[in-house]
Structure 1
């Protein structure tokens, strides 16, 4: 089995690379600089040359607020780029793994979101990711789309890295107490993705750690584990006046994938402890 990874510099791709290195799995990682998914000809040429069995798409434009002001950037990567991958995978009969987001939902449901719930994104980023899903579903039969949320791991592209920076520079931190989702580790995503591939699953699934938290709860738990003593003020989402509107409740259920794979996905706080201890995030 040969894997081709797009977006190799991102935190999720790096987690795949670390796993593949330890497992002696054949793979080829490509960064945005080496291959831009928006360039269909280059995507086709690389696939022709390497002949992968599976493409793992970790490339994404995830600057949520910037996407609101410059939506063409988000749509070019998250929609056009994904469409290019779908076209290529169809032509060469390659299995595609793609990652979407909890931001396809509007936050109005008073329960866990399931795969059967209708999306209704509140911002341009969410719209661009939802359109990417649409193109895959309408192009391919052999694919896996995983909606993930509040992803963190080794690297600088996540909320916890920013939280560390804020804590180093400020004596008091304002964190939203009315924004809820599921903190999800890159390790969990990689483990479940590979289990799903091994069992031959196809389709769309919600892939998160278990349980849920507010950003405030997540921040408090993380800084406690890091033994960082800071005053964390419970602010409201509206206090930050950000360009892009976020869903206040984007908690997704992982029961479907857990049941199919017959696996227990760790609670977000249990996984966080392991990630802090074992990976020093």
Structure 2
């Protein structure tokens, strides 16, 4: 199986480069090899390499900046996945794409399921939702994996920001009234590889019609917390709770360019039912990240 992997230098892509190795030949161009903003070049690259699976963690992820860079956000989060989906439909390849909890408005008190109505509050969420819809409309065989609050040892993320600020400031103020599930990039990569392995085995054995299971899946670490509690656990696990004090504040006291949902917890029940996969609890995953890097 030939797999085209984008975003290899990002926090999810870096982990996928490792977990996908056992599934076949992985083609993982970096940004110097393939500029994903050049859609004509991307199309030609796909046709030259002829992948049987495209895995696309590459994205525009600057949530606040997207409010002022709408075109750039839509190019990477909507137009690029639409192109990949079109190419996969043409060749009957599988397309794995990552989306976000920010397609929801956060008004629901319980975890969101895949069939809940999307209503993004910001440009980033709008662009990701447009990408989802383009993939579905293409008719390609696809998995859209919505995740949330992604962190890891690489890239720009909340965990690394908190650890950096803890070295610079004696006190931090963190929003305490927005809730979600912190998700380790390695969890995402390992479960993605497991899903693709199951699909490949089923297609070899013709035992399960995974075509029937194409669509959207929620994939996060288990549980629920606030940004404030997440930050407290980061400092505790890394042994920095005594050097930096964290104060909880309401989101209203921390103005940002893009609105965020109050509750963006996602239910993973569909993932467990179809693929038999259960992600670790978010706190256990954070501890493993500290141990393993």
TM-score range, shorter chain: over 0.9
SS in 2 for 1:204: strand
SS in 1 for 2:64: helix
Report whether the alignment pairs 1:209 with 2:208: no
Q: TM-score, normalised to structure 2's length?
A: 0.91
Report whether the alignment pairs 1:16 with 2:28: no
Report whether the alignment pairs 1:183 with 2:195: no
Report whether the alignment pairs 1:222 with 2:234: yes
Name 1:33's counterpart in structure 2: 32
Displaced runs of 4 or more, over 3 A: none
CA distance in 1, matches of 2:84, 2:224: 32
CA distance in 2, matches of 1:80, 1:24: 28
Q: Which runs of 5+ in 1 are unaligned?
A: none
Report whether the alignment pairs 1:244 with 2:243: no
- Residues 1-281 of structure 1 aligned to structure 2 (within 5 Å): 1-21=1-21, 23=22, 25-200=24-199, 201=210, 202-228=214-240, 229=242, 230-279=244-293
CA distance in 1, matches of 2:3, 2:194: 15
CA distance in 1, matches of 2:119, 2:105: 5
CA deviation after TM superposition for structure 1 residue 197, in Å: 1.6
Q: 1:194 to 1:20 in 2, by over 3 A?
A: closer
Maintained 8 Å contact 2:221/2:280: yes
CA distance in 1, matches of 2:245, 2:178: 19
CA distance in 1, matches of 2:257, 2:277: 39
CA distance in 1, matches of 2:87, 2:278: 34
**Deviating more after overlay: 183-192 vs 125-134:** 183-192
Query: What is the root-mean-square deviation in Å for CA atoms of aligned residues?
Result: 1.4
How many positions carry a matched residue from both structures? 278
CA deviation after TM superposition for structure 1 residue 59, in Å: 1.1
CA deviation after TM superposition for structure 1 residue 64, in Å: 0.4
Q: Which runs of 5+ in 2 are unaligned?
A: 200-209
